Amino acid sequence: MTRAGDGAMTGPADAALRRFLTTRRGGVDAHDAELWTALERAADGGKRVRPRLLLSVHAALGGTDVAVAAEVAAAMELLHTAFVVHDDVIDGDRTRRGRPNVSGTFTDRARRAGVTPARAERYGDVAGLLAGDLALAGAVRTVALCGAPPATVRRLLDLLERALRISAAGELADVRLSLTGGADLAEILTMEEHKTAVYSFELPLQAGAVLAGADEAVIARLGELGRLLGVAFQLRDDLDGVFGEEADTGKPALSDLREGKCTPLVAHARTTPWWPELAAYVGDPRIDPTGAARVRELLTASGSRRFIEDLAASYGEVARAVAEPLDLGADLGGWVAATTAGLARAA
């Protein structure tokens, strides 16, 4: 696959996504227009991983209708946008990719109008929920009208509904585990698989295969590949949320820790002698740069950072083994090999 930022593979999907978004400008009234403008901005940028996966596997398996595949790939990006916008509301984040997100944009607008901070944030959250709903409905509509034969559309909608249900359950589990604390690593890995891996990796890989007319055995194996890749990437994302830079991750540094989320890092750290000191930082929204530096020191000294890096690498190794018999071609197969090898190097 092309590297992040290249448009050679995702160009048709980007064009389909632009068509969908631009035709909604100026719709019902000013409020509707503001929501769609914010969604356009939210969908702008990013690595387009999900469209790239779908289009690559579609091509690798002999798919020929690129226009139809591009529509479904655009739907994958709309779905991702919906989940990102909703996730920011759930997490209370006001920025994404170094700029105000949908909720942050509407919150700032209300504050400039003189609204109290609490009411401005409520307005921002309402806008985020509604914008995410619009993107979600758009994703379903785009799949339904993609132009594939009715039986194929039905299969795609079945996959989409499954991804939606599992992802919603994973999101709720994420919040619940943070409320109760004490979840073990297996519970947290299952939650991350459900919350992210299914819609980000399983769904686009399997949708691309369905559009290419692949048999069910191949579709099932691609689902397993997607699960493994998704968990590996989520583990790296959890690490980046603590040790990465906001300019690279797109999320505020240490936001998961400040919110008290049960991440694999936290689950492992809880089993080490360093936990009593670390526990004071988990769920503390006031962590300053000095505290952040200490958190990183403790997570490294405890071995938690190394453990999660090794775990991500091991998921990557198994993903490579699952991918090898699939004959995914130079584009997708090369990407799987390179990215999973990158996980090992990072470890």
Record the tokens describing residue 87, joined without a space: 């996730």
C-alpha–C-alpha distance, residues 49 and 66, integer Å: 17
This prediction's pTM: 0.91
Q: What is the pLDDT of residues 51-107, one digit of tens each?
A: 999 999 999 999 999 999 999 999 999 999 999 999 999 989 898 888 899 999 999
Report which DSSP code applies to 100: E
Distances (CA, A) of 48 to 30, 103, 124, 196: 29, 22, 26, 15
DSSP three-state, residue 309? helix
Contacts of 110 (CB under 8 A, 6+ apart): 119, 120, 123, 124
**In CATH terms, is domain 10-47+63-147 a member of 1.10.3720.10?**
no
pLDDT of residue 72: 98
Q: What is the mean pLDDT of each run of 10 residues along the chain (347 residues)?
A: 50 95 86 94 89 95 96 98 96 88 96 96 98 98 98 98 97 89 88 94 97 96 96 91 75 75 90 93 86 91 95 93 86 81 62
